[in-house]
């Protein structure tokens, strides 16, 4: 990647953050310096101060219109519970020991398959401004067991970077993690908002990762996200700035021409980013709770992928039949490993039987999934 990022490049723009029309601020956060900083970047938007108790009020269950409206209103409030949580994996499938740092809820982009539609009972886009509490909690958790390796990500209940042009949170997080010998931060995104990252001293402790999909799925089912070209260009810029990058083919969605679609995006990935900059790539086929299908098909009646055949897994989520999952995983794995034989490629939320069928080894053969990912993150 040559040259500086142009002023009007999507990498420099506020992307979907520009869709925010209105800001609400919880009264108990109004005087925080960080709140003021964010409000200054949202100059021109209407700002409403709301009683603190109202932030926790669970509004009526979201309907189709409320979802879109929720994405246009940014609520600045406090995280009252814990910031750091275990990744909500299940015991039934192989879990990777990931920790989730919950910096906000919801997302201004709008993917048809987004689990947050069923998971959150509040359609508001929220960002937690009590960052001092966040860093106190993070430091205490690490001090509690300093020898443990940790992979911590902010992309579980929101997108890690789409609001970064407004919040600037990446600067604070990258700075905290740069001096942690046994913790890495993963920023997962479908945006290209990486301008803040490029000027930071990250010390290799931050991994920036992108969710990728077949071009057809991206164009039809991932509304208001960055284009695949912009995501890959952003990854190349981060790699050039010394970051290790990751990619998540998740959810892999069956559709006519899926082989060609996934083949094309894998080719484009390796034309843009060199394998030695990639710390891991994950594969995960579409899985969803029944409630998501009813919400998403009502909101997006033109989408057809929820009408394929599925079976219910041991965790209550619907998945494609095992034979189809294995076929798709094998196809993508063969293609990825041909371009990057040393890559740490893993399956998200799958059983050892599926690992065996896809890779001809199980995670146990390699010391367990947690160990495999720690080894990739910390060069063990
Ligand atoms: S980018 Fe992620 S969090 Fe945002 S709508 Fe899509 S799936 Fe949901």
36-48: per-residue pLDDT in tens? 999 999 988 999 9
Neighbours of 216 (CB within 10 A): 18
Binding site membership of 161 for ligand 1 (Cβ less than 6 Å): no
CA of 262 to the centre of ligand 1 (A): 20
CA of 364 to the centre of ligand 1 (A): 32
- The set of residues, in sequence order, having a beta carbon less than 8 Å from that of 341 and lying 6+ positions away, is none
CA of 168 to the centre of ligand 1 (A): 19
Whole-number Cα distances in Å, 88 to 92, 95, 119, 242, 369: 12, 9, 12, 30, 16
Q: Helices 322-339 and 352-359 sit at what angle, rounded to 10 degrees?
A: 50
Integer Cα distance of 334 and 93 in angstroms: 23
Please report how many Cα atoms fall inside a 13 Å half-sphere around the Cα of residue 155, on the Cβ side. Answer: 23
Indicate if the pLDDT at residue 241 is higher than 80. yes
Cis amide bond preceding 339, omega within 30? no
User: H/E/C letters for each residue in 293-326?
Assistant: HHHHHHHCCCCCHHHCCCEECCCCCEECCHHHHH
**Residues 84, 141 contacting (CB under 8 angstroms):** yes
Rounded to two decimals, the pTM is: 0.94
Indicate if the pLDDT at residue 89 is higher than 80. no
Binding site membership of 111 for ligand 1 (Cβ less than 6 Å): yes
Integer Cα distance of 92 and 151 in angstroms: 21
Mean confidence (pLDDT) of the chain: 91
Ligand 1 nearest atom to the CA of residue 117, by list position: 8
Whole-number Cα distances in Å, 89 to 66, 326, 375: 28, 20, 20
**Residues 155, 122 contacting (CB under 8 angstroms):** no
pLDDT for position 278: 98
CA of 39 to the centre of ligand 1 (A): 24
3-state secondary structure of 161: coil
**Closest of 284, 290, 306, 256 to residue 354, by C-alpha:** 284
**End-to-end Cα spacing for the chain:** 29
E strand or H helix at 222: strand 222-223
**pLDDT average, residue stretch 7-21:** 62
- List the single range of 3-12, 33-42, 352-361 with lowest mean pLDDT: 3-12
Ligand 1 nearest atom to the CA of residue 190, by list position: 1
Backbone angles phi, psi at 206, to 5 degrees: -120, 130
Between CA 191 and CA 270, with CA 213 as vertex, the angle to 5 degrees is 90
Per-residue pLDDT of 304-341, as tens digits, reads 999 999 999 888 899 999 999 999 999 999 999 999 99
pLDDT for position 210: 98
Tokens 């990057």 belong to residue: 340
Alpha carbon nearest to ligand 1 atom 5, residue: 110
Ligand 1 nearest atom to the CA of residue 108, by list position: 4
Binding site membership of 190 for ligand 1 (Cβ less than 6 Å): yes
Indicate if the pLDDT at residue 19 is higher than 90. no
**pLDDT average, residue stretch 156-172:** 95
Neighbours of 355 (CB within 10 A): 21
**pLDDT average, residue stretch 41-59:** 85
Binding site membership of 159 for ligand 1 (Cβ less than 6 Å): yes
**Residue 151 burial (10 A CB sphere; 0-12, 13-18, 19+):** buried
- List the single range of 1-5, 69-73, 110-114, 190-194 with lowest mean pLDDT: 1-5
Distance of CA 40 to the CA centre of its chain: 26
287-314 burial: b if 16+ Cβ within 10 Å, else e? bbbeebbebbbebbeeeebbeeebeebe
pLDDT for position 92: 61
Q: pLDDT class for 62, splitting at 50, 70, 90?
A: low
**Residues 75, 158 contacting (CB under 8 angstroms):** no
Please report how many Cα atoms fall inside a 13 Å half-sphere around the Cα of residue 331, on the Cβ side. Answer: 21
Q: pLDDT class for 14, splitting at 50, 70, 90?
A: very low
**Residue 60 burial (10 A CB sphere; 0-12, 13-18, 19+):** exposed
């Amino acid at each position: 990647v040559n040259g500086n990022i142009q002023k009007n490049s999507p990498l420099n723009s506020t992307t979907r953050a520009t869709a925010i029309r209105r800001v609400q601020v919880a009264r108990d956060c109004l005087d925080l310096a960080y709140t003021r900083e964010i409000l200054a970047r949202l100059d021109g938007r209407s700002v409403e101060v709301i009683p603190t108790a109202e932030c926790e009020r669970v509004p009526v269950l979201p309907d189709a219109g409320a979802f879109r409206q929720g994405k246009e209103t940014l609520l600045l409030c406090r995280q009252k519970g814990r910031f750091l949580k275990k990744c909500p994996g299940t015991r039934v499938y192989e879990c990777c020991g990931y920790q989730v740092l919950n910096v906000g809820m919801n997302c201004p982009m709008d993917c048809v398959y987004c689990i947050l539609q069923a998971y959150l009972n509040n359609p508001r886009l929220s960002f937690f401004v009590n960052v001092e509490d966040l860093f106190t909690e993070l430091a205490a958790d690490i001090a509690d067991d300093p020898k443990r390796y940790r992979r911590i990500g902010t992309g579980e209940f929101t997108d890690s970077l789409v609001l970064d042009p407004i919040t600037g949170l990446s600067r604070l997080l990258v700075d905290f993690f740069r001096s942690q010998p046994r913790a890495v931060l993963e920023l997962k995104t479908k945006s290209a908002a990486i301008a803040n990252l490029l000027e930071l001293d990250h010390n290799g402790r931050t991994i920036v990762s992108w969710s990728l999909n077949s071009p057809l799925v991206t164009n039809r089912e991932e509304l208001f996200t960055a284009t695949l070209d912009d995501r890959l260009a952003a990854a190349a810029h981060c790699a050039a700035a010394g970051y290790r990058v990751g990619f998540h083919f998740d959810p892999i969605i069956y559709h006519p021409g899926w082989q060609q679609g996934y083949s094309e995006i894998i080719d484009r990935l390796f034309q843009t980013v060199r394998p030695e900059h990639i710390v891991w790539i994950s594969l995960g086929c579409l899985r969803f709770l029944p409630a998501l299908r009813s919400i998403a098909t009502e909101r997006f009646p033109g989408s057809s992928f929820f009408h394929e055949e599925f079976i219910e897994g041991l965790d209550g989520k619907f998945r494609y039949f095992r034979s189809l999952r294995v076929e798709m995983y094998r196809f993508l794995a063969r293609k990825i490993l041909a371009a990057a034989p040393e890559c740490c490629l893993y399956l998200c939320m799958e059983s050892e039987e599926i690992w065996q069928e896809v890779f001809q080894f199980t995670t146990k053969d390699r010391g367990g999934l947690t160990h495999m990912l720690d080894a990739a993150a910390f060069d063990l």
